[in-house]
């Protein structure tokens, strides 16, 4: 079994008074703000290295204070609002977006129980039996901030960017939620602290590897980051939903985007990489002395920054995709694969319970019934094969329709005055009489050519 028959209970907050909750919330807020400042500096330095330029290196040692200087600049800049904008919604939209990004971190465990001001309390703000669903709900609320920000500006490009971003977030939240279903099946709970505790023997990145890949793809699309920053494409939409924003309103959107990056990275760490628990080799040192207390904050931060480096690496190496291709990939590939994988995991969990016979084989130190795994494999192959065949057929039909739509069967190659080759599916219209092949120019200015006939003038244009 990958999870204990009786999973451990949620984090114990019985010795956590209200004032300590407020203190932890302030510490969490400061942790995220400092992380965002470091991430902006880190991203600019890494992209600079990849593109053979230095990056920020003037303000503070190694340019570390450049992000802080940029934040102060945003606070002091003139805050411009378009004349046709809805004043209230224009201000509330970035607040909704940034606030929703902070809320998701309330249920992420940063470590085990620690001693704070004489009380034993988990390094977690709060926990719920359905904490994972709370994250998805908050992500849906963040979509309101984006679409309202684009609509309230009273401009075309922000509106298009807001609609793009909203459709993109909603589409990829479905695949993300389906990817997390496999984690819930393995852990037997939706509580984040229980999910972390269920990975004490084996991280879920191993048995739920397909869910991990789907989640990583969807979290890049969810955060509007390259190569999926289609809602902010400068070549198409100038800047997307925050084109008309400036000053602190723009900084709120900017802050919310980076907080969202930390949120999805923290959730990936919690659901697939054992959360705050130390790596297997280190966890065995000294009877787990490095796997308790404040050490969990260190391991959690290191794992989370691995994903943050992945964001930077993708931005520095990949090109922006096309919007229709990205949406087609999410709806027609990721979602069917996620559904097939959830069904497969359900069969595997049923096999662990002994519902499909006694013949088993060992994998990763666990016993799996052979019959159920064969059924799962056949089902997954059928689903993926059907999806691929259907997608190929649809693309071929669309390409054929695009090639033949609005194309006349016969064309006159000289109709525009210059010879034009026929397109696929066309044939040349033979003229009744062609112009002479060789008509020499007059030798002297006073010498003129013979007048052209009406048919020759038509062929010459």
- Give pLDDT tens digits for 350-397: 766 655 555 555 555 555 566 556 666 666 677 777 777 877 877 787
* Closest among 266, 283, 320, 247 to 77, alpha carbons compared: 247
Q: Report the pLDDT value the prediction gives residue 309, as an integer from 0 to 100.
A: 92
Same domain, 152 and 33: yes
Assigned domain for 167 exists? yes
Assigned domain for 150 exists? yes
Judge contact between 427 and 450, C-beta under 8 A: no
**Residue 127: band (very low, low, confident or very high) from pLDDT cuts 50, 70, 90:** confident
Reduced 3-state DSSP string for the chain: CCCCCCCCCCCCCCCCCHHHHHHHHHHHHHHHHHHHHHHHHHHHHHHHHHCCCCCCCCCCHHHCCHHHHHHHHHHHCCCCCCCCCCHHHHHHHHHHHHHHHHHHHHHCCCEEEEEECCEEEEECCCCCCCHHHHHHHHHHHHHHHHHHHHHHCCCHHHHHHHHHHHHHHHHHHHHHHHHHHHHHHHHCCCCHHHHHHCCCCCCCCCCCHHHHHHHHHHHHHHCCCCCCCHHHCHHHHCCHHHCCCCHHHHHHHHHHHHHHHHHHHHHHHHHHCCCCCCCHHHHCHHHCHHHCCCHHHHHHHHHHHHHHHHHHHHHHHCCCCCHHHHHHHHHHHHHHHHHHHHHHHHHHHHHHCCCCCCCEEEECCEEEEHHHHHHHHHHHHHHHHHHHHHHHHHHHHHHHHHHHCCCCCEECCCCCCCCCCCCCCCEECCCCCCCCCCCCCCCCCCCCCCCCCHHHHHHHC
Same domain, 362 and 296: no
Domain final position from 321, 353, 374 = 321
Domain final position from 359, 374, 400 = 400
Q: Report the pLDDT value the prediction gives residue 411, as an integer from 0 to 100.
A: 65
Assigned domain for 361 exists? yes
Say how far apart CA 251 and CA 78 lie, in whole Å: 12
Number of domains, the chain: 2
Same domain, 42 and 146: yes
**pTM above 0.85?**
no
Comparison of pLDDT for 387 and 225, the residue scoring more? 225
Res. 42: pLDDT tops 70: yes
Q: Report the pLDDT value the prediction gives residue 2, as an integer from 0 to 100.
A: 39
Domain enclosing residue 317, as ranges: 18-321
Res. 269: pLDDT tops 70: yes
Judge contact between 247 and 90, C-beta under 8 A: no
Same domain, 293 and 264: yes
Same domain, 307 and 369: no
Same domain, 280 and 374: no
Domain final position from 378, 400, 422 = 400
Same domain, 185 and 306: yes
Assigned domain for 309 exists? yes
Same domain, 82 and 216: yes
Same domain, 247 and 381: no
Judge contact between 337 and 210, C-beta under 8 A: yes
Q: What is the arithmetic mean of pLDDT over 285-298?
A: 79
Assigned domain for 289 exists? yes
Assigned domain for 336 exists? no
Comparison of pLDDT for 320 and 218, the residue scoring more? 218
Comparison of pLDDT for 357 and 225, the residue scoring more? 225
Same domain, 263 and 174: yes
Same domain, 390 and 298: no
Comparison of pLDDT for 250 and 307, the residue scoring more? 307
pLDDT above 70 covers what percent of the chain? 76
Assigned domain for 256 exists? yes
Same domain, 299 and 347: no
Mean pLDDT for the chain? 78
Assigned domain for 354 exists? yes
């Amino acid at each position: 079994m990958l999870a204990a028959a009786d999973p451990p209970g949620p984090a114990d907050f019985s010795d956590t008074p209200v004032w300590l909750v407020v203190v932890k919330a302030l510490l969490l807020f400061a942790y995220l703000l400092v992380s965002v400042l470091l991430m902006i500096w880190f991203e600019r330095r890494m992209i600079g290295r990849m593109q053979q330029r230095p990056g920020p290196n003037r303000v503070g040692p190694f340019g570390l204070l450049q992000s802080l200087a940029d934040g102060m600049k945003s606070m002091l800049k003139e805050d411009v609002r378009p004349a046709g904008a809805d004043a209230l919604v224009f201000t509330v939209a970035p607040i909704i977006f940034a606030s929703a990004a902070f809320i998701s971190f309330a249920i992420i465990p940063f470590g085990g129980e620690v001693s704070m001001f004489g009380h034993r309390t988990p390094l977690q703000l709060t926990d719920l039996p359905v904490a994972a669903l709370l994250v998805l709900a908050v992500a849906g609320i963040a979509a309101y901030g984006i679409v309202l920000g684009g609509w309230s500006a009273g401009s075309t490009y922000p509106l298009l960017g807001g609609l793009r971003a909203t459709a993109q977030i909603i589409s990829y939240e479905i695949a993300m939620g389906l990817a997390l279903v496999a984690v819930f099946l393995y852990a037997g709970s939706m509580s984040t602290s229980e999910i972390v505790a269920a990975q004490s023997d084996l991280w879920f990145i191993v048995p739920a590897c397909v869910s991990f890949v789907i989640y990583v793809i969807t979290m890049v699309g969810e955060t509007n980051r390259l190569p999926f920053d289609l809602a902010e494409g400068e070549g198409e939409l100038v800047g997307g939903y925050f084109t008309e924003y400036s000053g602190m309103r723009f900084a709120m959107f900017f802050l919310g985007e980076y907080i969202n990056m930390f949120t999805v990275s923290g959730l990936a760490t919690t659901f697939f990489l054992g959360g705050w628990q130390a790596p297997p080799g280190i966890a065995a040192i000294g009877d787990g002395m490095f796997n308790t207390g404040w050490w969990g904050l260190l391991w959690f931060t290191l794992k989370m920054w691995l994903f943050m480096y992945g964001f930077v690496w993708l931005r520095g190496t990949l090109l922006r995709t096309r919007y229709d291709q990205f949406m087609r990939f999410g709806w027609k590939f990721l979602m069917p694969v996620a559904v097939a994988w959830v069904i497969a995991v359900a069969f595997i969990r049923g096999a662990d319970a002994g519902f499909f016979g006694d013949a088993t084989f060992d994998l990763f130190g666990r016993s799996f019934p052979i019959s159920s795994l064969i059924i799962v494999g056949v089902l997954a192959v059928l689903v993926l094969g059907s999806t691929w065949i259907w997608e190929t057929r649809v693309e071929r039909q669309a390409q054929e329709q695009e090639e033949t739509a609005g194309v006349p069967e016969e064309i006159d190659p000289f109709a525009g005055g210059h010879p034009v080759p026929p397109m696929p599916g066309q044939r040349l219209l033979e003229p009744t009489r062609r112009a002479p092949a060789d008509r020499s120019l007059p030798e002297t200015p006073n010498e003129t050519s013979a007048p052209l006939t009406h048919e020759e003038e038509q062929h010459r244009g």
